[in-house]
DNA sequence: CCCATAAACGCAAATTATTTGCTTTTAGGC
DNA sequence: GCCTAAAAGCAAATAATTTGCGTTTATGGG
C-alpha cells in the first residue's frame, strides 16, 4: 500500500489523491486526532470510504502518507555565511518544528505505519538538507564533518529526546552542533559527499 | 487511559490485566500484527471486549502498555571489569534487541500510542541501565561521561537509525561508544549521579 | 466480621467502521 | 477513436466500537 508508486499519474486518480490529502489536513486542524476517521475523511473529500480503504489500507497508512509530505522541507537551509552558523540555525529550526505538536504528531504518524518506507524517506529529507549545508561549506573552502556524523550527533539526539522525553532547549541544540563541529576539527576528514542519496 | 495508575491492585482487576497482557503476547507470536484485534484478544483472555475498551481505550494503547512491560530490562548490565567494556557490551546487546523485529515492533507500539508516558518510561529504563554502568565505574574509580552524554551519543543514534533507516552494525555501535568515552577523557567532568529518576 | 460504596466487569443492543462483490467510469496504449 | 484494465462508486454483509444497565467484587469504615 505504498500509494505513491505504481499509481496512475493523471486525471481522476491524482484528483482523488489530492482531495483526500487535503481533507486529512483540513480535518486534522480542527478535530482531535482520535476523532478523524476514514468515513469522515471520505465525506470531506467527496469520495466513498471504500476508495480510501482500497488505496491506503487503513487510517495509519493514510496519515503516514500525508505526514511524510508535510515533513518534506520546502526550502534550502538558510545561508548565514558560515558552515557553523548554517548548521546552528538549521538545527534550531528543525528542533522547533519537530517538537511542536504538529511535528510530533507527524513523526508519530510516520513511525506508526506498518510500511517503514515513509520513515526512511523522512530521514532522507533531513540528510539532504545537511548535505546542502555541507556542500556549501566545501564550496566556501570550509571543513565540515561527515554527513553521518551530523546525523548521529545532532539529528539523532534531537529526535530521540522529542520522541522519548522532552524537547531539547535551543541551548542544548547549540551544544550538539558545537560538539559535532568540534569533532570535525579534530579529525582531518574533509571528504565532501560520499553519502547515499534518497527519495 | 494510563491503565497503570489508579487501578485496583487486588483480585479480579489484576487478574484481568494479567490475562489480557498474556493474551496479547500470545497472539502477537502467532499472528500478524494487523490481524490482532480487540475482540480476538478478549476471547483469548476470557474477557468481554468492552472491558478492554473501557480500560485501555483502543488497541494502540493496549499494545503500548504491553510493549513497555517487555521493554523493561530484566537484568543488570553485564560486568566486564571496565566501564568501557560494560558500555560496549551493553550497547551492542541493546542495539541488537531493539533492531530485531520484536524490538522494532515494541518501539513502534510505544511511540504510536497517544499517551506519551510509555515512551518516557521506556527512555527511563535505558537511562537507569546506563546509570548502573556509570555507578559501577565510579565505584571502581574510573571516569565516565555524563549520563546525558551517553544518551545523546550512543543511545540516540542507535535508536534513530533503527527507527528511520537501517539497524547499525556492531562496528558502528562500538564506534559510538568510543566517541562517547573519548569525549569524557577530554572533558574533566567525573560527576557521577545528577540524573533524574524515572518510573 | 459485615456492611456500604463505588469501581470494574459482563451482557446485549445500537452505532459505526471495514470488507467485499459487482458495476461503472476513465486513463493509457494501440 | 477503440480496447483494456486500473481505479472508483455503490450497497450489502461483516466486524468492530460504543453505550446503557444490571451484577460482581475490591476496599474502607464500622
What Å distances lie between residue B41 and B26, B44, B109, B118, B187, CA to CA? 9, 5, 16, 21, 52
Shared fold status for A11-57 and A71-186: no
Give, to the nearest 10 degrees, the angle between helix B170-186 and helix B156-164. Answer: 150
B13 touches strand C (CB under 7 A): yes
Give, to the nearest 10 degrees, the angle between helix B83-99 and helix B117-140. Answer: 160
Q: Does residue B2 surpass a pLDDT of 70?
A: no
% of chain A with per-residue pLDDT over 90: 83
- Residues A55 and A3: their CA atoms lie apart, in Å, by 6
Say which CATH superfamily domain B11-57 falls into.
Answer: Homeodomain-like (1.10.10.60)
Q: Does residue B199 surpass a pLDDT of 50?
A: no
In 10 A of CB A193, how many CB atoms? Answer: 11
CB contact under 8 A, B156 and A161: yes
What Å distances lie between residue A105 and A147, B58, B115, B175, CA to CA? 26, 18, 12, 32
State the pLDDT at residue B9: 58
Q: Does residue B144 surpass a pLDDT of 90?
A: yes
A54 touches strand D (CB under 7 A): yes
Residues of A in contact with B1 (CB under 8 A): none
Residue ranges covered by each domain of chain A: 11-57, 71-186
Q: Does residue B1 surpass a pLDDT of 50?
A: no
Residue of A nearest to B148 (CA): A157
Residues of B in contact with A34 (CB under 8 A): 114
State the pLDDT at residue B192: 46
d(CA A108, nearest CA chain B) in Å: 6
The mean pLDDT of B1-18, rounded to a whole number, is 70
Q: Which residue has the higher pLDDT, B121 or B7?
A: B121
Average pLDDT, chain A: 90
What are the contacts of A34-40 at 24+ separation with CB within 8 A? A34/B114, A38/A62
Q: Does residue A186 surpass a pLDDT of 90?
A: no
Residues of B 46-65 whose CB lies less than 7 Å from any atom of strand D: 49-50, 53-54, 57-59
pLDDT interval class at A184 (50, 70, 90): low
What CATH number matches the domain at A71-186, 1.10.10.10, 3.20.20.70, 1.10.357.10, 3.40.50.720? 1.10.357.10
Q: Does residue A199 surpass a pLDDT of 60?
A: no
pLDDT interval class at A12 (50, 70, 90): confident
pLDDT interval class at A112 (50, 70, 90): very high
What Å distances lie between residue A19 and A2, A31, A115, A133, B51, CA to CA? 17, 18, 22, 35, 38
The verdict on domain B73-186 having CATH code 3.20.20.70 is no
Q: What is the residue-wise DSSP string for chain A?
A: --SSSS---SHHHHHHHHHHHHHHHHHHHHS-GGG--HHHHHHHHTS-HHHHHHHHSSHHHHHHHHHHHHHS--SPPP--SSHHHHHHHHHHHHHHHHHSHHHHHHHHHHHHSS-THHHHHHHHHHHHHHHHHHHHHHHHT-----HHHHIIIIIHHHHHHHHHS-PPPHHHHHHHHHHHHHHHHHS-------PPP--
The mean pLDDT of A39-48, rounded to a whole number, is 98
Q: Does residue A11 surpass a pLDDT of 90?
A: no
Separation of A9 CA and C28 C1' (Å): 10
Q: Does residue A99 surpass a pLDDT of 70?
A: yes
The mean pLDDT of A143-158, rounded to a whole number, is 97
State the pLDDT at residue B183: 76
The cell for B119 is 515512551
Amino acid at each position: 500500500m505504498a500509494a505513491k508508486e505504481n499509481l496512475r499519474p493523471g486525471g481522476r486518480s491524482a484528483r482523488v489523491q489530492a482531495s483526500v490529502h487535503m481533507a486529512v489536513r483540513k480535518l486534522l486542524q480542527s478535530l482531535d486526532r482520535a476523532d478523524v476517521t476514514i468515513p469522515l475523511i471520505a465525506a470531506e473529500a467527496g469520495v466513498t470510504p471504500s476508495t480510501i480503504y482500497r488505496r491506503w489500507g487503513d487510517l495509519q497508512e493514510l496519515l503516514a502518507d500525508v505526514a511524510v509530505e508535510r515533513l518534506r522541507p520546502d526550502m534550502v537551509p538558510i545561508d548565514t555565511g558560515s558552515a557553523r552558523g548554517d548548521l546552528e540555525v538549521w538545527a534550531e529550526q528543525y528542533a522547533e518544528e519537530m517538537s511542536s505538536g504538529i511535528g510530533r504528531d507527524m513523526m508519530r504518524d510516520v513511525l506508526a505505519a506498518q510500511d517503514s518506507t515513509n520513515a526512511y524517506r523522512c530521514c532522507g529529507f533531513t540528510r539532504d538538507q545537511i548535505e546542502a549545508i555541507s556542500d556549501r561549506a566545501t564550496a566556501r573552502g570550509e571543513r565540515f564533518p561527515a554527513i553521518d556524523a551530523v546525523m548521529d550527533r545532532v539529528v539523532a539526539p534531537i529526535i530521540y529526546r522529542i520522541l522519548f522525553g522532552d524537547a531539547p532547549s535551543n541551548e542544548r541544540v547549540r551544544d550538539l552542533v558545537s560538539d559535532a563541529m568540534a569533532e570535525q576539527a579534530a579529525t582531518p576528514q574533509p571528504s565532501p559527499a560520499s553519502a547515499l542519496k534518497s527519495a
